Amino acid sequence: MDARLETIRDTVLARNPGEGEFHQAVTEVFESLGPVHDRHPEFLEGAVLERLCEPERQIIFRVPWVDDAGRFQINRGFRVEFNSALGPFKGGLRFHPSVNLGIVKFLGFEQIFKNALTGMPIGGGKGGSDFDPRGRSDGEIMRFCQSFMTELYRHIGEYTDVPAGDIGVGGREIGYLFGQYKRITNRYESGVLTGKGISWGGSLVRPEATGYGTVIFTQEMLKTRGQSFEGQRVVVSGSGNVAINAIAKAQGLGATVVACSDSSGYIVDEAGIDVELLRQIKEVERGRLKDYEARRSNVTYVDGGSVWDLDATVALPCATQNELDGDAAARLVRNGLLAVGEGANMPSTRDAVAVFQDSGILFGPGKAANAGGVATSALEMQQNASRDSWSFAHTEERLTEIMVGIHDRCAATAAEYGDPGNYVLGANIGGFVKVADAMLAQGLI
């Protein structure tokens, strides 16, 4: 790392102790930015990096609610409003027991660059709670969401901060959150949340967008080597929103997706995952992946273990951060891997990224490859602002254009800075320069 940047990075780490994931995300970005600061000394003089690493606002709040047994439950809520240089804060809400401030900050920090790369007018933020939705009834989920919004509503708005979904927050939760916002504020403010239902202000393609976008980005990377998804053997981690839609899109492009996982284990279906069955089990019945084995022949369910033990030519990690480590990366590379497209945020550890890059594997980092979700959220905001709703085909076409554009910008930036094919460098520099220019133009804020 450039020595000037290392000093700033060390200060950031010391000021934010115990936030491992945030440290990891900051370090990874700083490692790319040395050459930018050689060309743009004004970024150092303007203390852009120091400002960028300090969120504009961090909100932590109590979320009290009552469970079905009548017991009082207390969770912790977070919203980190990281950077609004390019537009209102924008980023999802995560409900998972592992959520803490460091995780929300890593996600919010990544979101700044991702949102800049989309070319849309959106800043970066993220939020969530350590609430565990697993095994909770609809009533419990609703009461939790209502309590969460009873504090969050003060801080959000279509021109201020626009949350969406993430792990544990899908259409059902966005519905309960929106209902409570409307009730408290007496405003039908469609633009305050994205990921809404189609009949009340949502956008077609938003549910599919992150998974589809990841596959479109990966397809563009494959094209640079004269390849495509046709005939590829794909392994996906996760079986949530991003994973299911990545599987659907990859198979639509002629690949065979042979495996996917949840936090308990993984399934292997050599004939290719039956996406409709998977959707039925995970989205309609809210069941576990293990249920898939009983309902389809020639399927193996592996309890525990890692989906990355399987061979694949394309790997799409779509579950969570740091789920693919250096050993798994080395094994995948030895067994014929061509490309990795990160549907999740920071799923590959730093060691894994190093293995992929040193081996010449096509590697699309999450902040570029999974930007289709937030880009389509911005399209939802556009539709809300103009009180319009677009067709599936038109919205998907916009998503495809945006993803191809992100791919091409990352590739062009990497080449401009002397490291063609390095999408990590391209994404970090491309996103950073856009935000840094806007921050300098807006003065010391």
* Residues identified as active-site: 126
Which CB sits closer to ligand NDP, 167 or 215?
167
Closest to ligand NDP by CB, 343 vs 430, is 343
- 81 vs 166 by CB, closer to ligand NDP: 166
CB 233 → ligand NDP: shortest distance, Å?
Answer: 21
Nearest approach, Cβ of residue 196 and ligand NDP (Å): 13
Residues that bind ligand NDP (CB under 6 A): 165-168, 210, 238-243, 262-264, 318-320, 343-345, 370, 373
Least Å from the CB of residue 441 to ligand NDP: 28
Q: Which of 254, 391, 243, 397 is nearest to 320 (CA)?
A: 243
Q: How far is the CB of 97 from ligand NDP (least distance, A)?
A: 9
Q: How far apart are CA 196 and CA 191, in angstroms?
A: 10
How are beta strands 362-364 and 265-268 bridged, if at all? unpaired
First to last CA, the chain: 27
State which residue, 48 or 164, has the beta carbon closest to ligand NDP: 164
CB of 206 to ligand NDP, least distance (A): 8
Distance CA 317, CA 283 (A): 19
Q: Which of 243, 226, 402 is nearest to 316 (CA)?
A: 243
Query: How far from chain centre, in Å, is Cα 119?
Result: 17
Residue 243 or 436: which CB sits closer to ligand NDP?
243
CA distance 311 to 323: 16
Tokens describing residue 408: 């091409």
- What are the DSSP calls for 17-57, one per residue? TT-HHHHHHHHHHHHH-HHHHHH-HHHHHTTHHHHHTS-SE
